[in-house]
Amino acid sequence: MAWFVSVITSLTVAGLAACGVLLMLGRRLIEEFTRPGITIEKGTPQWGGWEFPVLAAEPPLELQRAVTFRAADGTLLRGQFWAQPQSAPTMIISHGFHLPSRYFRSVAALEYAHGVNILLFDYRGHGESSPLPTTCGNAEVSDLMAAIDVVTDQAETIPGQVYIHGFSMGAAVALLLPPHPSVAGIIADSPYARLDDMIHMLTLQVLEQETARWRGLARSVHIFLPLLAHLMLLSSRLLFLARYRYPLVARPDQAIGAPLARRPACTPGTLLPPILLIHAENDPFISLHHAHRLVAGARAAGRAIQTYYTPSAIHCGSYGHDPQRYIALLQAFVAL
């Protein structure tokens, strides 16, 4: 009987130790993923080969004005509103993960030149906004809602003619957004469908890099890395929920097809805005299957969605593949 107690005790200690290690790894994952103030530098592997437009002429300074506003939870956000000389539709630039709005000034200038007002702003944890943890999705929805309120208050914005042009994380946030009577359309360039897929992939890549030089018996741990990445994700989700009281993993694939009856934030008469979904077929960061999931969800709900896929192997590479076609699609979409 003593041996049985000894075995049970050993297994319990080993189980507690394993749980402790997983919680430690989960905490590290949260801290690395949500850490504010990180900016990807051009030319690094994380940059992924993004190509931005050649810088077009920005509007005169008298037509640019700084805006400071707060999200519903009090988060301080900063940006710039570029006004047309007359009333016009307004485009909100929704930037990517660890790529603050300053990287998108050439995008903004190009679209401004085609006759729309522009709002450039930084999500929490990015650029000039509050250095709070970023979540790459759920928390940022309230930031975007506040941005919509800001542009609807600008005299130059035509009522009901607000568009959102999102990139990567910013595109996913736009798809998570509850329908808003001011939003006439969403341009989503390279969004993810499920954030847990992305986190698992990135975690697995880090684990593989950190163990790449292991040799001998230690090398055999590689077969367990996918499982370890999954367990790290699970522990980080639990820790994040306990710490911040809302879920870490965002699901645009569910949000995009949710019927209005299940959206309590909607006011009577609110319609689901149409979507222009853009994706590179060989995107190395967010694979094309994410786009397919989003399209399936939208069409199952009867939601208007237009797709534009390009034979590019660069994340958000569709503009660089064919700039003229990209701009023409945006112009036609906004005209609709």
Q: How many angstroms separate the first and last alpha carbons of the chain?
A: 78
List the chain domain ranges. 2-34+195-244, 61-194+250-335
Report the pLDDT value the prediction gives residue 257, as an integer from 0 to 100.
Answer: 80
Token pair listed for 334? 């906004």
β-bridge partners, 310: 280
Class of domain 61-194+250-335 (CATH, top level): alpha beta
Cα distance between residue 176 and residue 170, in whole Å: 10
Contact criterion met (CB below 8 Å) for 336 and 305 = no
Query: For residues 138 and 158, what is the distance between their CA atoms, to the nearest angstrom?
Result: 28
Confidence (pLDDT) at 132: 93
Give the model's pLDDT for residue 175: 97
Is residue 91 within 8 A of residue 111, CB to CB? The reply is yes
The DSSP output letter for 98 is: T
Q: How far apart are CA 161 and CA 117, in angstroms?
A: 10
The b-or-e profile of 39-61 (16+ CB within 10 A means b, else e) is: ebeeeeeeebebebbeeeebbee
**Neighbouring residues of 143: CB distance < 8 A, sequence distance ≥ 6:** 71, 75, 77, 121, 123, 124, 129, 173
Task: Measure the CA angle with vertex 320, ends 113 and 172; round to 5°.
Answer: 85
Q: Reduce the DSSP state of residue 235 to 3 states and report it.
A: helix
Interatomic CA distance for residues 273 and 184, integer angstroms: 5
User: Quick one: residue 288, left, alpha or beta (phi over 0 = left, psi -120 to 50 = alpha)?
Assistant: alpha
| Residue 19 pLDDT | 52
The closest alpha carbon to 28, from 313, 180, 233, belongs to 233
Tell me the two tokens of residue 325: 């076609």
**Mind listing the pLDDT tens digit of every residue in the chain (336 residues)?**
544 434 344 434 444 444 555 556 667 777 778 889 999 888 787 777 788 888 788 999 999 999 999 999 999 999 999 999 999 999 999 999 999 999 999 999 999 999 999 999 999 999 999 999 999 999 999 999 999 999 999 999 999 999 999 999 999 999 999 999 999 999 999 999 999 988 888 888 777 877 777 776 656 667 878 888 888 888 888 888 888 778 888 999 999 987 654 445 545 556 789 999 999 999 999 999 999 999 999 999 889 999 999 999 999 999 999 999 999 999 999 976
Closest CA to 144 of 180, 100, 191: 180
The pLDDT score that the predictor gives to residue 218 is 59
What is residue 206's predicted lDDT score, i.e. its pLDDT? 75
pTM to 2 decimal places: 0.88
- The tokens for 154 are 């600008």
